[in-house]
A and B are shown apart, each in its own frame.
Chain A
Amino acid sequence: MQQRDNENRLSQEYTNSVLLNGTLQTPKWWPYLVSILGFFVVIGFVLFGIQIKYGLGVTGLNRPIYWGLYITTFVFWVGISHAGIMISAILRLTQAEWRRPVTRAAEILTIFSLATALVFPLIHAGRTWRIVYWLIPYDASRGIWPNIRSPLFMDPIAISTYLTGSTLFLFVALLPDLAVLRDRTTGFRKGFYTILALGWRGNPRQWKMQVVGGILLSALMLPIFVSVHSIVSWDFAVTTAVEGWHSTIFAPYFVIGAVHSGVSAVVTMMALMRWGWGWNEFIRPEHFDALARLLTVVATAWLGFTFLELLFALYGLDAPEIALREMQIFQYPWNMLFLTFLLTGYILPVPMWIFKRIRTNIALMFWSSILVNIGMWLERFLIIVPGLARRTPFVFTWEAYSPSWFEWYILFWSFCWVTLLMLIFSRVFPLVPLFEQKESEVFSDDIKIGRATVPTIFREEEE
């Protein structure tokens, strides 16, 4: 097989054969992993059934903490979903070349994590079916309409907008790759891809639409991306009843935190893709390097917002708020969680990323990105639960909340579920966008400046 053509670049044939190795063939580990994950997922569904039968009593939720692990995990997955648009829209608009191998995986992560996030309010609601009454405006005989003034109503609107938009975005970007698959399969699969590829041929008009359309969709998705987590944050921030929630910084604070955790999740996934499918030539250490640099900036901005949030919590000098913060930061067991949150969210990973040796070390990047997400999950937990625990000074119980094993399992289930969906996706569609890869091979070249060889990129003349 011709790996590299005369200009030391990867040939398109080679790109196809390597990047489709998970789609046209089945990796050895794939059936085992899918079966194991499938088993855990099924148990999760069974537990959900049990919860519906016996009610929310199976969870640890009780006065005054009605929002616990489920809502924390909901916010967490919405946060993870900010990976996709951050990578594919922002980096596309800023013409960052290193985005190319990661865009597809990030978009898929967005879609599956959002879909998973949407499930959590359903689980959390207890009587899940009743959500229909709250959300869908239809002329029922009772004449009750959804209350659009409620942030809890805006939430699903924003998330489903984001989900629909991301799915369409993914589909448009998938078209050229579907044509590649159509050309390389037979039988039933060929029929499937032929229908999905819509008769793609690759003429200039279609490519131009890919490029222009990609930029247009990026520009449209970006404001949606920002709005989603902002609206999720307003679930908390617009209420005055809970000390520690009523803060104007919540919207951008949540968004930047979401980017922090989402991009870290992309790093985790990139490492897994390298190990699982052996795409070492496509997902290279320099991609990890670039992502880690981006993460350093994002994480530092996020830390600044965290600081401002705490500063203005104390600014008011209100006794209940100070008491709440004292509990959140200094009292056991919250202090342990807070310490872990700070350590894993910033103090451990970010100084590591200062060193190029670590930024280009895949295993270290993998573990540090996991640390970030532990920290970011704890961040949401520490915002939601202590706030509710000290909701009002005159509540008759200040009992701390301890999640039941039901809730822990559903949290575990969500990870299995997202991974399972990603793995199934990878058998049907390529996880690395083939045409983006090929485009970069066409547009990039090495030139010599003096004796140094410098990578260059061809940019079309701005119209």
Chain B
Amino acid sequence: MKSLLGLYLDPNDAANAMDGLKEGGFEVGTFDVLTGTPYPEGAFGEHVPQHRLFRFPAFGAIIGFSLSLFLTTATQLAYPLITGGKPILSIFAMLIIMYEMTMLSAVIFSVIGIIFESRLPNIAPGVYDPRITEGYIGVVISVEDSDLNKAKKILEKSGSEEIKEA
């Protein structure tokens, strides 16, 4: 198994390379495009990734809500002292704290979700070139050794500046 990285200056060339790889019979998902900035979704004809990000905040909100309900209720019942003429279980004061904790937990879980759905942290990032953060567009593909030359040719044909192998 090898990884190839073709570097392109022109986004159109990169898009052609992606097309070439698709036509060359490489499986969708084995090749990908690396950019230094977000491009419109599907600009390179790439596989548009699916995600389940929105489940994370929902889950977080439920956890935060339950936890805060427990905490606010428990602290008031644990020390039942009437202050300010308010009932022991003051729902309208509890609501404020419950709201904050629910939102906090939703945010924390969203961030976990964003990192998880970005498939980070990525301990073995594979073949890469620092010029990608400089405006070059990289097309990466992992191939069996037997297909290596075929893939290389496709990347070259579409006008890559350089091809790296790892």
List the interface of chain A (C-beta within 8 A of B): 11-13, 16, 137, 143-150, 153-154, 157-158, 161, 164-165, 168-169, 171-172, 175, 179-180, 183-184, 198-213, 216-217, 220-221, 223-224, 227, 231, 435, 438-439, 441-443, 458, 460
CB pair B34 A201 closer than 8 Å: yes
| Residues in B neighbouring A146, C-beta threshold 8 A | 75
List the interface of chain B (C-beta within 8 A of A): 32-41, 44, 46-49, 51, 53-54, 57, 71-72, 75-76, 78-79, 81, 83-84, 86, 90, 93-94, 96-97, 99-101, 103-104, 106-108, 110-111, 113-115, 117-126, 128, 130, 132-135, 138, 140
* Contacts known (A198-B122, A204-B41); A168 close to B107, Cβ less than 8 A: yes
CB pair A12 B100 closer than 8 Å: no
CB pair B34 A161 closer than 8 Å: no
CB pair A216 B93 closer than 8 Å: no
CB pair A204 B108 closer than 8 Å: no
| Residues in B neighbouring A184, C-beta threshold 8 A | 130, 133
Residue on A nearest B40 in the bound complex, by CB: A460
Min Cβ gap A206→B in Å is 4
Residue on A nearest B64 in the bound complex, by CB: A161
| Residues in A neighbouring B47, C-beta threshold 8 A | 204
Residue on B nearest A158 in the bound complex, by CB: B100
Distance of A144 Cα from B93 Cα, bound (Å): 18
CB pair A221 B107 closer than 8 Å: yes
| Residues in A neighbouring B51, C-beta threshold 8 A | 205, 208-209, 212
| Residues in A neighbouring B121, C-beta threshold 8 A | 198-199
Residue on A nearest B76 in the bound complex, by CB: A148
Distance of A200 Cα from B103 Cα, bound (Å): 27
Distance of A442 Cα from B40 Cα, bound (Å): 9
Q: 7 additional contacts, CB 8 Å, given A148-B75, A148-B93, A199-B125?
A: A172-B111, A172-B115, A199-B120, A205-B49, A217-B114, A231-B100, A441-B37
Residue on A nearest B60 in the bound complex, by CB: A220
Residue on A nearest B79 in the bound complex, by CB: A145
| Residues in B neighbouring A158, C-beta threshold 8 A | 96, 100
| Residues in B neighbouring A207, C-beta threshold 8 A | 35, 37-39
| Residues in A neighbouring B83, C-beta threshold 8 A | 147, 149-150
CB pair A183 B125 closer than 8 Å: no
Distance of A223 Cα from B79 Cα, bound (Å): 31
Min Cβ gap A153→B in Å is 8
* Contacts known (A149-B90, A213-B114); A443 close to B40, Cβ less than 8 A: yes
**28 contacts across the A-B interface (CB closer than 8 A):** A137-B71, A143-B79, A145-B79, A147-B83, A153-B97, A157-B100, A161-B101, A164-B104, A169-B111, A171-B111, A183-B133, A199-B122, A200-B118, A200-B120, A201-B132, A202-B34, A202-B138, A204-B41, A204-B48, A205-B49, A207-B38, A210-B118, A216-B110, A220-B103, A224-B100, A231-B100, A441-B37, A460-B41
Distance of A177 Cα from B154 Cα, bound (Å): 31
Please report the number of residue pairs spanning A and B whose Cβ atoms sit closer than 8 angstroms. 190
CB pair B33 A199 closer than 8 Å: no
Identify which of B86, B90, B122 gathers the most chain A CB atoms within 10 Å of its CB: B122
CB pair A203 B101 closer than 8 Å: no
CB pair A202 B122 closer than 8 Å: no
* Contacts known (A12-B36, A148-B97, A220-B57); A172 close to B106, Cβ less than 8 A: no
Distance of A148 Cα from B83 Cα, bound (Å): 10
CB pair A148 B72 closer than 8 Å: yes
Distance of A48 Cα from B79 Cα, bound (Å): 34
Residue on A nearest B71 in the bound complex, by CB: A137
Min Cβ gap B103→A in Å is 5
Identify which of A179, A205, A227 gathers the most chain B CB atoms within 10 Å of its CB: A205
CB pair B107 A213 closer than 8 Å: no
CB pair B100 A217 closer than 8 Å: no
CB pair A172 B114 closer than 8 Å: yes
Distance of A208 Cα from B119 Cα, bound (Å): 12
Min Cβ gap B45→A in Å is 11
- A-B pairs, top 5 by smallest CB distance, nearest first, are A199-B122, A12-B135, A183-B130, A438-B37, A213-B114
| Residues in A neighbouring B35, C-beta threshold 8 A | 202, 207
Residue on A nearest B96 in the bound complex, by CB: A154
- State which of B103, B110, B138 has its C-beta within 8 Å of the C-beta of A224: B103
Residue on A nearest B113 in the bound complex, by CB: A213
CB pair B49 A204 closer than 8 Å: yes
Residue on A nearest B123 in the bound complex, by CB: A199
Distance of A150 Cα from B134 Cα, bound (Å): 53
